[in-house]
Structure 1
Amino acid sequence: MKKEYLIYKLSDEVKNSCKIPREAFGEYGVKRGLRNEDGSGVLVGLTNIGNVIGYERDDDGTLKPSAGKLYYRGYELNDLVEPLLHEKRFGFEEIAYLLLSGQLPDEEELAAFRELLNDNMLLDHRTTVNIIDLEGSNIMNILARSVLEMYTYDPNPDDISRDNLMRQSIELIAKFPTIIAYAYNIYRHSVQGRSLHIRHPLEGKTIAENFLYMIKHEDYTELDARMLDLLLIIQAEHGGGNNSTFTVRVTSSTRTDTYSSIAAGIGSLKGPLHGGANIKVVNMFHHLKEYISDWKNIDEIDTYLYRLLNKEAYDKSGLIYGIGHAVYTMSDPRAVQLKKLAGELAKEKGREEEYEFLKLIEQEGVKCVTAFRKSTKPVCANLDFYSGFIYEMIGLPEEIYTPIFAMARIVGWTAHRIEELNFEGRRIIRPAYKNILSPKAYVPLSER
């Protein structure tokens, strides 16, 4: 039997071996995707870190849609972001301190923490060389491999004491921007044939400033850097139930090393249904700009959006990317903030017309999805709807959109790992799967 045919035959047999009737999940009381029938998540753990609120419950337990809220260590996201916008200062390091420790730092603590992160941004020379050797690879994969490689250079990689976990967390938060920037510059050289530039992070600069410097040298504005800083803050944490953070907590519950656990989280975030969704929105927006002639004509916009939903246009997925969320109903607080930021940046970049068009896509997209699904549950624009547009206006390439998400979310991942390994009564996370296949009688090889 030819090897190529064997692969086809094995693949074809999977069609039958993987068949599980949809109704069987209800019959056995299985919560598909760890979701309840009303759309809420199955409660699998407790946390003091992030809190995601997209609905309320009536006295009878019925879900009631509400304006979305996101809390970091008990502080509402808006209360953390608004002072930064008002004072026009950088805040990602401050939020990282809060998420790791549970406390907002004072000025002295913040200055010391920023210096500590800055000191740890440089990579081991061997890591830099290995990134160069991985030219042309997917940047998320390079990030995961580089994280696993850090295990080799860590003098105490398997120690899960609180002090060692904090040291590893700070090093990961500091090194993610450098790994991503170096990996992109190698990609730019090997795939696009551009000049190779490896710029080391500068002292006294924030993570957002240093990242833009390593990617773009001096080709960025102060507003660009502050927008990136706020994007990092908004994406730093989203509760323990999102797929990548849950992946980190599940792997951490086995007491594996930090680098293996974080690499697993990176693999989860890479998926197009999770961190890769922002690229989907940007590409869809480019398509809509080309195929909708009048960007102010509501009827034309609605007609084309219904074509998307009917799988008649664009990628025929039946989706309007960036509309809808598993938890948020009436609004996603991250999207609300990003919408304002996008407007401010659009003025500086002379892209107000595109911004107004994107707002109309959001407005009409919500209406069209609700009507098309004939659902009483409200839908809203999510984080991804505006984030890609902001990245694009800053001048960042789409190859690093998802890696930037990881650059932000490493803060939440490490905070949840520390919590998973330090609360009382911790146990390995081990849910159950019901096998519904009837027993079979063994058939000897000669009789098959």
Structure 2
Amino acid sequence: MQDDLLLNSDAFIGSLCDEFCKHNYIDPTYYDKFDVKRGLRNADGTGVMAGLTQIGNVQGYVVQDGERVPREGRLIYRGINVEDLIDGFVSEKRFGFEETAYLLLFGALPNRSQLEQFTRLIAQCRTLPASFTEDMIIKAPSPDVMNKLARSVLALYSYDPRPEDGSLENLLRQSLELIARVPTIVAHAYAVKRHYYDNQSLYLHRPQEDMSSAENFLYSVRRDNAFTEDEARLLDLCLVLHAEHGGGNNSAFACRVLSSSGTDTYSSIAAAVGSLKGPRHGGANKKVMEMFGCIEETVRDWKDDDEIKACLEEIINGRLGDGSGLIYGMGHAIYTLSDPRAVILKRFARSLAAKKGMSEEFDLFETVERLSPEVFLSVKGETKTMCANIDMYSGLVYKMMNIPMDLYTPLFAIARIVGWCAHRIEEIHNPGNRIMRPAYKAVAPTRPFVPMDRRI
């Protein structure tokens, strides 16, 4: 009986899908007719100007005579080139994520005393509320860590004595707690996922106050707590590069949209987590590694350009890979000649690949990066300037550090929580703040109400 109901239910749902398609088609020509900014982008590909920010700036082209002219990419944190920021703490052999978080939240680099106090405060906030892991993570495991992270962020509302207080003091307190707690949530959510869905032993580690954020995360997710200094410093670099990317990226914009409504911090940040989970945004690093798994199985000679080109053609035509026709890790909405994050990460990844005996795989990634624009031109006729983005190499770096694929996008979130919190505070405490309310052109035809007995 139940199986019959299920079969009938499936058939009914199929008929509902047909009904939906019949009444919900929008003529693609309408977008040009009504000058709709699809993806909130202008016709030339530039983003629709939606606000002002002092937090981050992404530069990948200049506009001359009304046209976009490609240039080398630059990523700016609070007016400071991220390359200079990284060169500073790397040359002094310091971890940089905490310093970057301070810069993005407050707008200036900390002095030694400020950084020490800030780092100590973050460390003290890492422990989750009493019974949080048991009640919110273990009792409702999820096969996807990002899903569990979003739910856990929302759940923190219930443990906050002042969840609706929008004062600057309270927003900063909530931000510091989120920056500290999100890595712990991710580590515990991953451990529970492995236990319930992968049939692995469950082990949970308490966060350590005497470690940097990067060190603490590696300590927390590994059964034996073991990691090398090189691994921790490279992960720290990844966190810095992912911490912020302007107010127009999808997740930061989602956070700002919700914040403009006056809702609470946890709702706004959970929305950003949900956005980042998508394969067109933060989930792309995982898609890159899945795609390269397919390439590595298909291409017999990783040094044969022609064989690699043929494989990429199959991917673009949707006959190989996930069928999307995308070469994940290539192209960006703003960067043209280069993505500075990819350039920096690639430099460090090359030396790590040599140490790990993975130079041949690294060379394959470089070859795909080099050949992709040529293949897109031959298959699609696209002449758009295209570069590798950070997702091309971040997944490879994580793989070389033996970080599981389940943690690729959550690591992105651990870093980007800093940028989200900074944008939320700026959105709320900005005199020009208004609830975001874009327009949608209604194109449904006018029709009369039909009485029930006259409906077909």
TM band (smaller chain): over 0.9
The correspondence of residues 156-167 of structure 1 with structure 2, limited to 5 A, is 156-167=162-173
Q: Which residue pairs with 2:253 in the alignment?
A: 246
Q: Which residue pairs with 2:76 in the alignment?
A: 71
Q: Secondary structure at the match of 1:203?
A: coil
CA offsets per residue over residues 152-195 of structure 1, 9 Å max, x none? Answer: 01000000111100000000000000000001111112222222
Q: Which residue pairs with 2:189 in the alignment?
A: 183
Q: Residue 370 of structure 1 contacts residue 379 of structure 1 at CA under 8 Å; is this kept in 2?
A: no
Q: 1:55 and 2:72 equivalent? A: no
CA offsets per residue over residues 301-343 of structure 1, 9 Å max, x none? Answer: 2222122222232333222111111111111111111111211
Which of 35, 40, 43 is the aligned partner of 2:41?
A: 35
Q: Residue 370 of structure 1 contacts residue 378 of structure 1 at CA under 8 Å; is this kept in 2?
A: no
1: distance between equivalents of 2:193 and 2:131? 18
Q: Residue 96 of structure 2 contacts residue 240 of structure 2 at CA under 8 Å; is this kept in 1?
A: yes
Q: Which amino acid aligns with 1:272?
A: P
Q: Secondary structure at the match of 1:38?
A: coil
Q: Which residue pairs with 1:409 in the alignment?
A: 416
2: distance between equivalents of 1:94 and 1:286? 36
2: distance between equivalents of 1:194 and 1:34? 44
1: distance between equivalents of 2:12 and 2:296? 46
Q: Residue 329 of structure 2 contacts residue 392 of structure 2 at CA under 8 Å; is this kept in 1?
A: yes
Which of 353, 360, 368 is the aligned partner of 1:346?
A: 353
Unaligned 5+ segments in structure 1 are none
2: distance between equivalents of 1:221 and 1:126? 31
2: distance between equivalents of 1:319 and 1:146? 32
Q: Secondary structure at the match of 1:354?
A: helix
Q: Which residue pairs with 1:124 in the alignment?
A: 129
Q: Which amino acid aligns with 1:260?
A: S
2: distance between equivalents of 1:245 and 1:374? 33
2: distance between equivalents of 1:267 and 1:374? 34
Which of 103, 111, 114 is the aligned partner of 1:109?
A: 114
Q: Secondary structure at the match of 1:63?
A: strand
Cα distance 1:313–1:249, how it changes in 2: closer, same or farther (>3 A)? Answer: same
Q: 1:280 and 2:257 equivalent? A: no
Q: Secondary structure at the match of 2:75?
A: strand
Q: Which residue pairs with 2:334 in the alignment?
A: 327
TM-score, normalization by structure 1: 0.97
Q: Give the C-alpha shift of residue 292 in structure 1.
A: 1.2
Unaligned 5+ segments in structure 2 are none
Q: Which residue pairs with 1:258 in the alignment?
A: 265
Q: 1:378 and 2:385 equivalent? A: yes
Q: Which amino acid aligns with 2:60?
A: G
The correspondence of residues 13-32 of structure 1 with structure 2, limited to 5 A, is 13-32=19-38
1: distance between equivalents of 2:69 and 2:380? 18
Q: Residue 141 of structure 2 contacts residue 192 of structure 2 at CA under 8 Å; is this kept in 1?
A: yes
Q: Which residue pairs with 2:406 in the alignment?
A: 399
Q: Give the C-alpha shift of residue 3 in structure 1.
A: 4.5
> How many corresponding residue pairs?
447
Cα distance 1:88–1:290, how it changes in 2: closer, same or farther (>3 A)? Answer: farther
Q: Which residue pairs with 1:143 in the alignment?
A: 149
Report the more deviating stretch, 151-160 or 134-143. 134-143
2: distance between equivalents of 1:124 and 1:352? 44
Cα distance 1:370–1:233, how it changes in 2: closer, same or farther (>3 A)? Answer: farther
Cα distance 1:121–1:27, how it changes in 2: closer, same or farther (>3 A)? Answer: same
Which of 202, 212, 216 is the aligned partner of 1:210?
A: 216
Q: Which amino acid aligns with 2:261?
A: T
Report the more deviating stretch, 294-303 or 219-228. 294-303
Q: Which amino acid aligns with 2:229?
A: E
2: distance between equivalents of 1:297 and 1:4? 48
RMSD across aligned positions (CA): 1.4
Which of 80, 85, 104 is the aligned partner of 1:80?
A: 85
Which of 358, 368, 379 is the aligned partner of 1:361?
A: 368
Q: Give the C-alpha shift of residue 300 in structure 1.
A: 1.7
Q: Which amino acid aligns with 1:169?
A: S
Report the more deviating stretch, 62-71 or 129-138. 129-138
Report the more deviating stretch, 321-330 or 358-367. 358-367
1: distance between equivalents of 2:307 and 2:288? 19
Q: 1:267 and 2:274 equivalent? A: yes
